[in-house]
Structure 1
Amino acid sequence: MKNWILSLAMLAGLLLSSLLSSTPTYALDTAVESNDGQFLPVETAYRMTPRIDGDELLMQWDIADGYYLYGHRFKASVVAGGQPHKLALKLPQGKHKQDEYFGDVEVYYHQVIARLPLPDGGPFTLKLSSQGCADAGLCYPPNHRLYRVDSASGSVMRIDAPDAVVTDSAPAPAESGRASAPVEVFSLQQLLAMAALAFAGGLILNLMPCVFPVLALKAISLLESSDSTAGERRMHGLVYTAGVVCSFMLVAGVLVVLRASGQELGWGYQLQSPWFVAALVYLFFLMGLSFSGVIELGAGLAGVGQGLVEKGGLSGSFFTGVLAVVVASPCTAPFMGASLGFALTQPMAIALTVFLALALGMATPFLLLSIVPGLGRLLPRPGNWMVTLKEVMAFPMYLTGIWLLWVLGRQAGINAAMLVLIGCLLIAVAVYFWKRPVRWQRGLALVASLGAVFVLTTTSPLSEPVPVLSAARDDGSAFPLTADGDALRYSPDRLASLRSDGGPVFLNVTADWCITCKANEKVALGTDTIKNAMAAQHIRYMKADWTNRDAEVSRLLARYKRSGVPLYVFFPGDGKAEVVLPQLLSKEKVLTAFQAGQGS
């Protein structure tokens, strides 16, 4: 009776542990590379003091020696009339610097004072953003501060909440002075447009190959309840939707909070954790055994898994929704990139709204089948053929487990993959002896299952991912790849160098665990048509690999407002505008981008 509760708790733990796994911040990544543990906290390195001076708000940053702030990373937003208005600050002349990541920029040492015209009216909320680095090599993530400004009393008070939403009657500050830039107003129409894109992305996510095994779960669940009442089917659809929505809200909430703390995260980043990938291998192996009829999950030993669905109860529908979100993490459907990239740069409420639209889009097909009588009647009557269907659907489960094992080998090495295979063997031993009536045999099954957990949680190969083996060389030359043609390993310096010589460059931001990325390489980038086109137009092919955590690749994605991979950018060269390609590629789309870039 309580097995399904334990199962849901364990699966929720899998989701939460993947989100809270040790993902280093932008600053920590760079600090490790600099081999210097004496860096100051960001609030100490950059002390900001605001004050009102006449009709202007002055913001003075006192910068510690050896540290600097980027001029172009200063941003100010004032909440007025219920909407945030992004404004350009008035800044003094800075010092020119050739930066590794941003090129030719202005920076400020020691002290800088920014000015902002005060609006007429009552108090308002001001959000300030800045970013800086240390000369020794550490770069901090963007720092955000909120202030409550009352020009009448002359007070400026810092607000502790990172994303407070305040509605004011004060109008937006008018543009004044040459330093002011056009105001970018966040509108309800923009939010609705992004939510619509997310909803469409959620719909398409059901068709992506990474979600295919869950489609089998949903289909069998519907078929088994096809002779139930309309009210029961409707309840199953609503509970499944609740499972999808709750899981997405959990992922989104933790993701937004961690990003606000400075961590470089994006959609699907939990698959950068070898532990999470190994846990998914176990999960799909267990579900494959269940679909094959080897075990009946839902009692005792392997309560996490398909047993919840096979019970046909509401818990099974909820679990199916949760599992759909878990296995969808390697995939990025069309429209998802722009909408999620937008969401992860917004306050919590707006981000959750976009993720809610994504969740509802993913849940809609199953929900419609369960609540629309006409669609439900299209399903065939239950019969013995369902047993055959379930057994056939075991093979996608095994195939998914094999693919995840390959990803694990790429992430953490062959030793880690071998240990997880040993864990799967221990699971098989546990399953075999658990069905035996003799007590000592059940005890052996328990020992084997604990051994599988031990392999997953305590082995060092899973804790220290090895660098991903790649056919791209570090010396700047191209080396033949098995499927992708010639590629250069991405680095900001190498990309800047290639662009500076005026030649075209095609950048592929990918990951081994991204099924969408691999499909695009198979149908487009790895074909002779694209290889020949690159050779004919002298296009250099560069790869940025996000299989494991990589701060440089995370910053690259953030620069293009993407929450995850894939990302494809074509730089035509000779100063022409870059072309960002869609997330689902075809040969025609890539060739069109080449032509558009060369002709721009």
Structure 2
Amino acid sequence: MRPDAKKLVLIAMLMLTGLILVAQTFTYRVTPGELKPGERGTVRVTMSIPAGKHQSHNPQDNEYFKLNASHPDLVFGKTQYPAAHTVVSPEQWDYHGSVTLSLPFTVKANAAPGNKTINVSMDYGLCFDTGQCEPPELAEGSVRLVVAAANPDQPVSNITEEPVAPETVTTAIAITDSVAEQAEAPVEPVKNPVSKILWYLLLAFVGGVIMNFTPCVLPVLTIRAMSIVNQAAEDKSKIFKHSMAYALGVLVSFIALAVVFIILKLAGESVGWGFQFQSVSFTIALTSIIFVFALALLDVFIISPPGMTAATQASAKKGVSGSFFGGVFAFLLATPCSAPLLGTAVGFAFGLPAWLMLIFFALVGIGLAFPFILIGLSPKALKIIPKPGEWMNIFKEVMAFVLLWIVYTMLKSVLKLTDGDYLLHVIMFILSLGFAAWLYGRFVRPEHSKATQWIFTLLTLVIIVGAALIYLPYKEAAVVEEVGIGDGLMRPAKDTPAGWYDFSPALMEKLLAEDAPVFVDFGAVWCKNCQANEKNVLFTDDIMAAFKAKGVILIHGDYTKQNPDMLEFMKKHGRVGVPFNVLYVKGAEPRLFSELLSKGMILDALKDLPEVSK
């Protein structure tokens, strides 16, 4: 890398670090750190406010600036506010520099002893001192509380009402920040928010790199690498240009996805990772693109506009635009194969401000494009790929069949999103598309006259458009709740072994209230990692037997279609996409699993549970 380029990279890194450092930060505390059933405590959150901004609060309306907390063993009161730094009017208190909100709580009488993690969030919305305000935001964190065993000689009455704070703030003469800090006991140190952000940004990059080795992306990666090998054999000066074009295609696609997420978030929509695969139109469009690409790898057709000479065609195949759209295609295929480490990081990203979310998704894109960035900066990396030869044609055709397998898996997604009758329509469209591609490849060739080429080009377009109009119109039917064969909330889950039950918020609330051990699995037909986890781990006989031996209740959720309840449930655990797996055990914190499961992970999580009586 040239010295000037190195300086530019260093400057970019310093600018990124500076942007992160000026963001508002949050500190979460709980006092006291240890309580018994029936005793009271307080959760406090301190927000540091960047210079030039302030936080406003209306004492008569707490909707946009408040604390929220949840834990089944605690009863929470109302948010307590400090005195205003500036009282603009009775309806507007302003805070500058930092502000601490408090939330009193009481430990329930039936709370089991042990460590408890309290999930805490703050609704806030900063304004510039010049008058312009930012959209409302949500900051999320957690604090650790130890619940000690109750004294059997002192019975505790059942707590059902909200705890009453010593003082309710209704005027500017309220508890101050300094008073709020009194009587605070030493608590568990809170991680630096900046280091947490940097850690998740690193996970974004690493997750993007790992995506290259998933079955979704690997065919495109290897085919594009072979294309660069051919170019290197002719002109090594083109390697940098094509590698960077591929990387740019990936990067632009991920930034575009981030922009979509930000727009939907500002509009109040709730979306998760992979949400585009819950759309019938998107799934069919991508299935068609993959199918046509597979046919091209099998040399069914070659894109050659009518009248082009062979030399021009060869140049077009190797154009920079081909490398750019190769990157776009890799992005489209990458989403359903959410790499390990990426799921947790994406969940964190959805709670970030818009500008940080852009940086996060850009780093995922850089990670996915990293092999080609290395090739562009160091062409010697191409030496690991064998020299061009017949093996490349064989490998290319093998990759075509891998893509056809992906087409099969996406048709399964269409089936789950719609119904069997509509799937037959989609298959007929795919066959028509294949016939049109064959016509184009057979007759739009330089050896044929220009008139013949134009006729068959137009005929190809007519067949594709006509087939789409005939077979693809779809009207979504009204959703009918399937009650299955079970009674009440325990309904057997579809397409799972016996012993799995359909997810519902009411069922989860009931099971957790009963302190039953529960394992939750959320998956989707379009999620390749989900399918691998279920086939190779969760649905196997030995793991099913292990669950049964420990008395674990198995809950399955199908996220193939949009499901706001499932998305909300995942967000409570810091995730926004599938695969999603969590184990609940009485007296312990919920155990989240990584995106790729192994039998060892499950058996290790179950080892401390007692055997159930037979």
Alignment TM-score, normalising by the size of structure 2:
0.69
Unpaired segments ≥5 residues, structure 2? 1-41, 63-68, 87-93, 104-120, 139-175, 308-312, 444-451
C-alpha distance in 2 between matches for 1:173 and 1:430: 72
Per the alignment, residue 134 of structure 1 pairs with none
1:422 deviates by 1.6
SS class of match (1:506) = strand
**In 2, Cα distance between equivalents of 1:175 and 1:321:** 57
Structure 1 partner of 2:566? 553
Q: In the alignment, is residue 265 of structure 1 matched against residue 271 of structure 2?
A: yes
- Structure-2 change in CA distance of 1:499 and 1:162 (3 Å): closer
Instruction: Give the SS at the match of 2:607.
Output: helix
Q: Kindly tell me: are residues 398 and 198 of structure 1, through their superposed partners in 2, closer, same or farther at Cα, counting changes over 3 Å?
A: same
The match for 1:580 is: 592
* Alignment correspondent of 2:460: 445
* Contact 1:411/1:468 (<8 A) preserved: no
Letter in 1 for 2:464: S
Going from structure 1 to structure 2, the CA distance change for 1:144 and 1:296 (only over 3 Å counts) comes to farther
After superposition, the Cα gap between the structure-2 partners of 1:358 and 1:582, relative to the gap in structure 1 and judged at 3 Å, is same
Contact 1:420–1:455 at 8 Å: present in 2 too? no
**Partner SS state of residue 49, structure 2:** strand
Cα pair distance change 1:472/1:243, threshold 3 Å: farther
1:372-411 counterparts in 2 under 5 A?
Answer: 372-411=378-417
Give 2:604's aligned residue. Answer: 592
1:446 Cα offset (Å): 2.6
Tell me which residue corresponds to 1:40: none
Query: Structure 1 CA distance, aligned partners of 2:322 and 2:457?
Result: 26
Task: Go from structure 1 to structure 2 and tell me whether the alpha carbon gap of 1:474 and 1:205 turns closer, same or farther (over 3 Å shift).
Answer: farther
Partner of 2:338: 332
Whether contact under 8 Å (2:47, 2:100) holds in the other structure is yes
Tell me the distance in 1 between the aligned counterparts of 2:486 and 2:368: 40
Cα distance, 1:80 vs structure 2: 3.4
The answer for the alignment partner of 2:532 in structure 1 is 519
TM-aligned CA deviation for residue 438 of structure 1: 7.3
The 8 Å contact of residues 493 and 501 in structure 2, kept in 1 or not, is answered as no
Q: State yes or no: 1:569 paired with 2:574.
A: no
The C-alpha deviation readout for 1:329-362, integer Å capped at 9, x for no partner, is: 1121111112111111010121122212211111
- Displacement of 1:431: 2.5
Contact between 1:430 and 1:448, CA under 8 Å: does it hold in 2?
A: yes
Partner amino acid, structure 2, of 1:226: A
1:340 and 1:562 in contact (8 A); partners too = yes
Partners of 2:483 and 2:471 in 1: CA distance: 26
Answer whether contact 2:250 2:327 (CA < 8 A) is retained: yes
Is residue 459 from structure 1 mapped to residue 465 from structure 2 by the alignment?
no
Residues 454-473 of structure 1: CA deviation (Å, up to 9, x unaligned) = 2576332xx45867989885
Distance 1:200 1:467, change over 3 A: farther
2 CA distance for matches of 1:564 and 1:191? 20
Matched, 1:353 2:353: no
Q: For residue 33 of structure 1, what is the aligned residue in structure 2?
A: none
- Residues 188, 592 of structure 1: alpha-carbon distance in 2 compared, 3 angstrom cutoff: same
Give the structure 2 partner of residue 371 of structure 1.
377
1:405 counterpart SS class:
helix
The structural deviation recorded for 1:265 is 0.9
The CA deviation string for residues 291-345 of structure 1, in whole angstroms up to 9 with x for no partner, is 11111135479xxxxx999812211111111111101111211111121111110
Q: Give 1:565 shift.
A: 0.7
Secondary structure of the 2:384 match is coil
Q: Deviations over 1:502-553 (max 9, x none)?
A: 2211000111111001111122111122111011111110012211011100
Counterpart CA distance in 1 for 2:315 and 2:184 is 59
**Other structure's SS at 1:210 match:** coil
- For 1:205-220, what aligned pairs fall within 5 Å after superposition? 205-220=211-226
Report the Cα offset of residue 247 of structure 1. Answer: 0.6
Find 1:148's aligned residue among 102, 105, 127.
127
Q: Is contact 1:127–1:145 with CA below 8 Å preserved after alignment?
A: no
Distance 1:370 1:158 in 2: 44
2:294 and 2:403 in contact (8 A); partners too: yes
Amino acid at match of 1:288: A
Measured at CA, do residues 426 and 314 of structure 1 come closer, stay the same or move farther in structure 2, by a change above 3 Å? same
- Which amino acid in structure 1 is aligned with residue 133 of structure 2? I
Percent of aligned pairs with the same amino acid: 27
Correspondence 1:423 to 2:397: no
Distance 1:412 1:102 in 2: 38
Question: CA–CA distance in 1 between the matches of 2:320 and 2:592?
Answer: 44
Larger Rg: 2
1:247 aligns with: 253
2:49 aligned to which of 79, 82, 97: 79
Which whole-Å CA distance do the structure 2 matches of 1:352 and 1:406 have between them? Answer: 32
Matched, 1:297 2:303: yes
Query: Which SS does the other structure have where 1:115 is aligned?
Result: coil
Task: Name the amino acid aligned to 2:550.
Answer: Q
Query: Which residue, out of 164, 177, 180, partners 1:176?
Result: 180
Match of 1:318 among 321, 324, 332: 324
| Aligned with 2:507 (options 473, 494, 499) | 494
Distance 2:206 2:97 in 1: 36
Conserved 8 A contact 2:48-2:99: yes
3-state DSSP of counterpart to 1:225: helix
Aligned to 2:326, the other structure's residue is in SS state helix
**What is the distance in 1 between the residues matched to 2:516 and 2:137?**
43
Match of residue 546 from structure 2? 533
Report the CA distance shift for 1:104/1:289 in structure 2 as closer, same or farther (over 3 A): same
Aligned length: 484
C-alpha RMSD of the superposition: 4.3
Distance 2:382 2:456 in 1: 45
CA displacement 1:5-31 (0-9 Å, x = unmatched): xxxxxxxxxxxxxxxxxxxxxxxxxxx
Given that residues 411 and 466 in structure 1 are in contact (C-alpha distance below 8 angstroms), is that contact kept between their aligned partners in structure 2?
no
How far residue 426 of structure 1 moved from its aligned partner, in angstroms, is 2.0
- Cα distance change of structure 1 residues 412 and 298 upon mapping to structure 2, 3 Å threshold: farther
Relative to 1, partners in 2 of residues 1:342 and 1:596: Cα closer, same or farther, differing over 3 Å? farther
Offset at residue 221 of structure 1 (A): 1.9
Deviation at 1:370, TM superposition (A): 3.6
Runs of 5+ consecutive residues of structure 1 not aligned to the other structure: 1-71, 93-98, 131-141, 151-155, 165-171, 302-306
The corresponding residue for 2:233 is 227
CA contact (8 A) 1:579 1:597 kept: no
Residue 433 of structure 1: aligned partner:
439
CA distance in 2, matches of 1:430, 1:292: 15
- Please give the alpha-carbon distance, in whole angstroms, between the structure 1 residues aligned to 2:428 and 2:248: 36
Please give the alpha-carbon distance, in whole angstroms, between the structure 2 residues aligned to 1:411 and 1:309: 41
Q: 1:482 offset after TM fit, Å?
A: 5.7
Counterpart CA distance in 1 for 2:548 and 2:453 is: 68
**Partner residue of 2:20?**
none
TM superposition shift of 1:577: 2.2
Q: 1:350 to 1:474 in 2, by over 3 A?
A: farther
Deviations 1:140-197 (A, max 9, x none): xx996634387xxxxx956155579xxxxxxx96672689998968633222111111
